[in-house]
Amino acid sequence: MLKIADFGFAKACEAGKLTTYLGTASYMAPEIHLRQAYDGKSVDLFAAGIVLFIMYSGTPPFGKALPSDPYYKLLCTRKQRTFWAAHSRNKPKDYYSAEFKDLIQGMFQFDPKLRPTLDQVKGHPWFKKEVLTQEEITQRFAQRKQQIEEAHERERLARIQVMEGQHTY
């Protein structure tokens, strides 16, 4: 289980809409940027979607969740295929599964009423996918480490060959 907390802006609140403009701009839901009243749970799940995307992709999905942002605009104008093509550059084929795309697109909905609830996120097919065991993770890391070490050794030997070829006797 992963829990993420940033209590720098935490505030106890009554039921209803919030209006405070605060947070890190790249994690804010569009309604905060647009200075509209918002539901705290919905904007928190939007931010969690950004964290998930970054953890999975290694890059943020967009600069700001505004229709003027080039990447977010693709999602708002139903050009998801272009959004995913842009983020798939330099990634293995089919890096993003259909389930992952569906979950993220739901979490990034411009209209907060269309975003999933926490229970819906937890029940989503991508979220429920089988997770590797600790042993499987350790094995994959060991395999990757061996591949990297072998690549470094090949590079080292190639440099030696080049250096030996440059010497004149």
Pick the CATH number of 12-129 from 2.60.120.10, 3.40.50.261, 3.30.1160.10, 1.10.510.10: 1.10.510.10
Q: Write down the pLDDT at residue 24.
A: 83
Q: What predicted TM-score, i.e. pTM, was given to this entire model?
A: 0.71
Per DSSP, what are the bridge partners of residue 18?
Answer: 38
Block mean pLDDT (10 aa), the chain, length 169: 56 67 84 88 93 93 94 93 94 92 96 94 88 86 91 92 74
Q: Write down the pLDDT at residue 1.
A: 47
Domain ranges of the chain: 12-129, 130-169
User: Exposed (0-12), middle (13-18) or buried (19+): which is 87, by Cβ within 10 Å?
Assistant: buried
